Amino acid sequence: MSNILIIKHGSLGDLIQANGAMKDIRENFPRSKIILLTTLLYAELMSHCPYIDGILIDKRLPRWNVFYLTKLRKMLKRFNFEKIFDLQNSSRTKFYKRFFFKNTYWSNSEISLKKGEKKSEFNKLPVLDRMKLQLENSGLSTSFTLKPDLNWAIKDIRNLLNQNFEGEYVLLFPFCSEKLKKKKWPYYKDLAHLLKKAYGNKYNIAVVPGSNEIEEAEKLNVNVILNNNKAVGLLDLIGLIKNSSYVISNDTGPAHIAAHLNKKGLVLFGSHTTAEKVSIETKNFQSIQVKNLNKLYVSSVLEKVKENLN
C-alpha cells in the first residue's frame, strides 16, 4: 500500500474548500494511505474527515530554523510518500518540494499552466476551478472538487444550543483576522438592531466568537454562543451553521462553511477579492460586493436579507 501526502495548512475557508479535492484524491487512490499535513488549529476537525487516514502537524516555523526543518524533513521522509498533492501552493510548500522531495512526484498548480502562461494569470481563476485543473493535469478524475461536502463534519449540537437559547436563529460573523481588517464590515451592531426590529421574537440573533473575539462580541447586544463560557470548537461551529436559519458574514471561514452546507445567507465583499474568485456564491448563499465596505449601508444589507429570510 502506497502513502500519499496532501498539504493544506489553512486558512479555515481554504481548508473547507479543499474537501472536494481531498475526496477526489481518495476516490482515485482507494487503497492508498492518505496523510494530511496541516496546522495544529485544524487537526481535530480534519481527524474526522473520511478521506484522510492520518494527520501530520506543521508548525510552519521560520525557514531559518534549521533544527525544525530537519525534524520536519525526517518526519515526512519516514512515510516514504509516493505522491504529494500540494493544495496549499505557497512559497513555503514550494520550498518543501525543492529541499524535501526532489525525486518524489509533486502535484501543484504550476503543472496546470499553459505554455507561456504566468502563475499570476492562472491565479485569477476561481479557486475551485484551479484545484480541479491541478488534479486533472495530475491524471486524476474529478467528480467532487467543485462541490465540497461537509456533511461528515455535522455533529449534534442540541446541548450547546440549550446552553444559549431556544428556537430559530440567525448567525452573524462580524469578525476577521487582524491581518485582514479590510474584509471587515463595521456595522453589524446596527444590523442586529434592525433585524430584531424587523423579525421580533421569530429569530434569535447570535454570534459565535473565537477565543480572542469574545469581548468584541459582547458589545454587539446579541446572543453570544459559548460552550461553558469558552469559544466553541470547529465541529460545533459547523453544527451551529448547519442548524441556523440564515448566515451573514464577512469573507471568512464561516462564510465558506455556510456556502458549502448550502445554507441561506449573505457574504459581504470589499475590493480585496470577489465572490467568483473564491468560489463562494451559490443559489442560497449570495453576496454583496462593493469597493469600500465602510460605505456599504446597513439598509442595503437588510434589504438583501429580507429577500431571502422569511
Pull the grid cell for residue 121.
Answer: 494569470
Residues 6+ apart with CB under 8 A from 91: none
Cβ–Cβ contacts within 10 Å for residue 33, how many? 16
Q: Look up residue 195 and give its three cell numbers.
A: 433585524
- The answer on pLDDT for 21 being more than 80 is yes
- Number of helices (H), then strands (E), belonging to the chain: the values are 13, 11
**How is the chain split into domains, by residue range?**
3-149, 153-308
Q: Kindly indicate the confidence band of residue 155, based on its pLDDT and cuts at 50, 70 and 90.
A: confident
Q: What is the pLDDT of residue 182?
A: 80
Cell, residue 276: 467568483
Residue reference for cell 461528515 = 152
* Residue 125 pLDDT: 87
And the C-alpha cell for 162?
Answer: 440549550
What is the pLDDT of the chain when averaged over all its residues?
A: 92
**pLDDT for 176:** 81
d(C-alpha 256, C-alpha 254), whole Å = 5
Q: What is the pLDDT of residues 35-61, one digit of tens each?
A: 999 999 999 999 999 999 999 999 999
Kindly report the CATH number that applies to the domain delimited by 153-308: 3.40.50.2000
What pLDDT shows up at residue 123?
A: 80
Instruction: Indicate whether 117 pLDDT > 80.
Output: no
Share of the chain above pLDDT 70, in %: 99
Domains 3-149 and 153-308 alike in fold: yes
pLDDT at 206 over 90: yes
Question: What's the pLDDT at 165?
Answer: 80
What is the structure's pLDDT at 131?
A: 95
Domain 3-149 sits in CATH at: 3.40.50.2000
